[in-house]
Amino acid sequence: MTSGKSHPRPHLHLAVALADAGAHPAAWREPGARPDELFTARYWADQVAEAERGLLDLVTFEDGLGMQSSLPDRPDERTDRVRGRLDAGLLAARVAPLTRRIGLLPTAVATHTEPFHLSKAVATLDYISAGRAGLQVTVSPRPDVADHFGRRSLTDPAPGETLPDLLDEAADYVEAVRRLWDSWEDDAEIRDAATGRFVDREKLHYIDFEGRHFSVRGPSITPRPPQGQPLVAIPAHGAEGWTLAGRAADLAFVAPHSDAEAATAVAGVRSAQQQAGRGDEPLHVLADLTVYLDDSHAAAVERLSRLDEAAGGLGADIDGYGFGYGAPGSGRGTAEVFAGTPADLADLLLAWQHAGLSGFRLHPGVLAHDLPAIVDGLVPELQRRGVYRRGYDEGSLRARFGLARPVNRYALSGS
């Protein structure tokens, strides 16, 4: 027999993906889009400050190693869309001292970058931000991107360079990064001027990582980050992405088009997590949504239609992450597109939350319009419904997601 008492709905987590002038390829042509400032620090600092004003959990800085394209596997020749971008990691480091609470997750492409370099960059970001750093890990199957580096050919991939292999490599990549973050014990730095001992060398550890794709000895040259382990996010827009997220992620970004698909994606990630032996570890699943918000449904739909017409009706630019993200003929990538009012969006978020989602990562169609609409429209609506915070709690980004600071694996093992 039940008590009849209702249980409060858990609060939603909200993130925002920052890319160019917005998710829509014609966003840069909209009023207030500031296309002449897209390659300035001020522009990006303003976007993150706006997201922090809305009490959002985190922002992801979208990035890649090839020019943006409307094609999934190669560059296009379009000149009517934003082309070129600043480095996500450097942007996150630049805005970190200008913000106080919001999480900062730059994107790294595991296929062509080194885990050692990335581990110390994100550890540094965690220090600069006082425990608000994370990392979004992607892969790139694009042959033109491989040609920038000259170490592998993806035009006619050899064994070990197919998409499943790239994803397997990404899992190894994350494992190596995590071990490097642990390669300094928390009390390895002594800083004793009287004895002249700055560091206890016995508390720095070789990680001796050996995988199919690379090996890393370690230790890192950067002490263990304030969070111990900054958050790792995986854009898991398909079954192969679910597998990688289950193996390696703290946050998984899935791309359902309905509450039923959301339930399927959550189940897929959870199954992969169990198979990877991580069933007892917290892993949050957030759904990606591209949003166009206005005072009325009709106004939002009309604006989206006008943007589509301005873009030539050929769909969104897509970065070929290799996680099912963006596909030929998909229109605007694989993420669901919502056009309507903030109240209507709140209804959708709460309906989909029942599928097991922890929250949502929103892709503003036009940053100049839709990010303020999220902050001033959606967030207050969710607050009125009692499902969103009214202020930031103290603590790290991990703590915000209910993740404990992990024990250092090498201190635990004594190796």
- pLDDT of res. 58: 98
Which pLDDT band, with edges at 50, 70 and 90, does 156 fall under?
Answer: low
User: 124 a known binding residue?
Assistant: no
pLDDT score, position 415: 59
H-run or E-run covering 97: none
pLDDT tens figures, 140-150? 888 888 788 87
Predicted confidence (pLDDT) per residue in 189-221, tens digit: 999 899 999 999 999 999 999 988 889 999 999
pLDDT of residue 112: 86
Fold of the domain spanning 13-150+231-413: TIM Barrel (3.20.20)
CA distance to 46, 48, 101, 386, per residue, from 98 (Å)? 10, 9, 10, 29
- Per-residue pLDDT averaged across 27-52, rounded? 97
**Helix, coil or strand: residue 301:** helix
What is the tally of helices (H) and strands (E) in the chain?
13, 13
Task: For residue range 100-135, list pLDDT tens digits in order.
Answer: 999 999 999 998 899 999 999 999 999 999 999 999
334 contact partners, CB below 8 Å, separation of at least 6: 237, 238, 255, 324, 325, 326, 327
Q: What is the largest CA-CA distance in the chain?
A: 72
Q: Is 288 assigned a ligand-binding role in the annotation? A: no
- Using omega within 30 degrees of 0 as the cis cutoff, is the peptide bond preceding 219 cis? yes
Looking at residue 103, what is its pLDDT? 98
Residue 315: predicted pLDDT:
54
Lowest mean pLDDT among 3-17, 208-222, 242-256: 3-17
Asked if 364 and 16 count as a contact pair (C-beta separation under 8 A), the reply is: yes
Q: How many CA atoms lie within 13 A of 105 on its CB side?
A: 30
pLDDT at residue 6 is higher than 60: no
The pLDDT value recorded for residue 154 is 72
